[in-house]
Amino acid sequence: MTDVSKNKPKLTSFDLFLDVNMPHIDHCIEQLRKEIGLRQKSQIKALKLLLCNLYIQQDKEIMLSRKKQSLGTSKYNPLGIGYRGIISALDGLHHHNWIIQVIGIPGETLTTMQTTSKLAKWFEDTDWSEEAINVRCGQFITLRKNKKVNGRSFYIDYEETAYSKWLRKELEKYNRLLNNTHIFLEGLNGEEDKVFKHLTLQRKFINHSKIRVTNGEFIFSGRMPGTWINISEEDRARILINGEPTIELDREASHLNAMYQVVTGKPYPYGDAYEVSINGFKVPRHIIKKFSNFMQGGKSARGTAQSVINNYKNESELKEYEEYLEIKKTIKPTDIVKAILKKHPKIAPYYLRGKEYGDYIRCWESDIVFEVVIELTKREIPCLTVYDSFIVPLQYKQLVDSIKDITPHVNRRKLDKVLV
Per-residue pLDDT of 64-116, as tens digits, reads 999 888 888 778 888 899 999 999 999 999 999 999 999 998 878 899 999 99
8 A C-beta contact, residue 127 and residue 20? no
pLDDT at 2: 43
Average pLDDT over residues 384-406: 97
pLDDT above 60 for 3: no
Q: How confident is the model at residue 216 (pLDDT cuts 50, 70, 90)?
A: confident
Neighbours of 24 (CB within 10 A): 12
What is the residue-averaged pLDDT of the chain?
90
Average pLDDT over residues 27-35: 93
pLDDT above 50 for 390: yes
What are the pLDDT digits (tens) for 296-340?
Answer: 999 999 999 999 999 998 877 789 999 999 999 999 999 999 999
Tell me how far CA of residue 215 lies from CA of 146, 153, 161, 208, in angstroms. Answer: 19, 24, 8, 14
What are the pLDDT digits (tens) for 127-180?
Answer: 998 888 876 656 889 898 888 766 667 888 888 899 999 999 999 999 999 999
pLDDT at 213: 72
Tell me how far CA of residue 289 lies from CA of 111, 206, 227, 254, in angstroms. Answer: 38, 24, 25, 10
Q: Is 135 strand, coil or helix?
A: strand
| Residues forming a β-bridge with 235 | none
- At position 136, the amino acid (one-letter code) is R
8 A C-beta contact, residue 62 and residue 112? yes
Over its C-alpha atoms, the chain yields an Rg (Å, rounded) of: 24
Kindly state the DSSP code that residue 18 receives in the 8-state scheme.
Answer: E
- At position 197, the amino acid (one-letter code) is K
Q: How far apart are the first and last CA of the chain?
A: 61
What are the pLDDT digits (tens) for 256-305?
Answer: 999 999 999 999 999 999 999 999 999 999 999 999 999 999 999 999 99
8 A C-beta contact, residue 373 and residue 174? yes
Residues sharing a CB contact under 8 Å with residue 375, sequence separation 6 or more, in sequence order = 403, 407
Average pLDDT over residues 377-404: 98
pLDDT above 70 for 4: no
- What is d(CA 223, CA 67) in angstroms, rounded to the nearest whole number? 27
Record the pTM: 0.79
pLDDT at 8: 61
- What is d(CA 100, CA 89) in angstroms, rounded to the nearest whole number? 13
Burial of 75 (0-12, 13-18, 19+ CB in 10 A): middle
% of the chain surpassing 90 pLDDT: 71
pLDDT above 80 for 45: yes
- What is d(CA 187, CA 99) in angstroms, rounded to the nearest whole number? 29
Of 159, 137, 145, which Cα lies nearest the Cα of 204? Answer: 145
Neighbours of 146 (CB within 10 A): 17
Q: Is 206 strand, coil or helix?
A: strand
pLDDT above 70 for 417: no
- What is d(CA 181, CA 242) in angstroms, rounded to the nearest whole number? 6
Of 32, 36, 29, 227, which Cα lies nearest the Cα of 132? Answer: 29
Average pLDDT over residues 188-212: 86
Question: Helix, strand, coil: what percent of the chain each, to 5?
Answer: 40, 15, 40
8 A C-beta contact, residue 92 and residue 36? yes
| Residues forming a β-bridge with 149 | 152
pLDDT above 50 for 27: yes
pLDDT at 117: 95
pLDDT at 1: 41
Helices 285-295 and 254-263 sit at what angle, rounded to 10 degrees? 50
Q: Is 184 strand, coil or helix?
A: strand
- At position 374, the amino acid (one-letter code) is I
